[in-house]
Amino acid sequence: MGDNAISREKRSLPPADYSLKIESFKLLSESTVESFESGVFKSGGYNWKLVFYPNGKKNDGGKDHLSLYLKIDDSNPHSDGTWNVNVYYKLFVYDQLSNQYLVVQDAKAPMRRFDRRKGEWGFGKFLDLATFNEPSNGYLVDESCVFGAEVYVVKPTGSEEILSLVSEPDDGTYRFTIPAFGSVGDTVQRSGEFTVGERN
């Protein structure tokens, strides 16, 4: 995904679903660990994890960047192999100096489908390391940083409505005439009984 497909903006409201605080970031970034998976959190009836690459996910264009992804957890019960979950999601990093969150999301395709073949979505170029490591930006303070997620699962309700018009009804037509309609007031008006098909 190209960097121009990513939207970034600041807000003061924290992530609604999950926050992950990492302490001793330098030790993590200098270790042999390529990626770190968070604990499981629930949102929209499903179990999720954040997957964090402190030195970038190289095969997703993450060189010289932090990479951050949302992953649907394997613990979710699925009835068959054709399952899918449609999601709007936002990922966050906390600016500890301004007490604001940088919100990162897809700009061109904000809804993503998680399924058996693709269970992880996110950003190889979540934030460049130079910006992240700069103390005045507030993302890394005393070797600690905070990331977060909001997950909005789109669940079909099955509701639908059908509008069908006819110009001339075949049968069962009944005309209900109310004389002097303007003077009816609060009086309830009822038609006489009429039959349509086999019902009165």
Q: Are 59 and 1 in contact (CB under 8 A)?
A: no
Contact 109, 6 (CB under 8 A): no
CATH number of this structure's domain 6-154: 2.60.210.10
Structure confidence by residue, pLDDT tens digits, 147-157: 999 999 998 77
The structure tokens listed for 167 are 């110009």
In 10 A of CB 2, how many CB atoms? 8
pLDDT band at residue 69 under the 50/70/90 scheme: very high
**Domain segments of the chain as ranges:** 6-154
pTM of the model: 0.75
Neighbours of 137 (CB within 10 A): 18
Question: Which of these, 51, 93, 103, lies nearest to 72 by C-alpha position?
Answer: 51
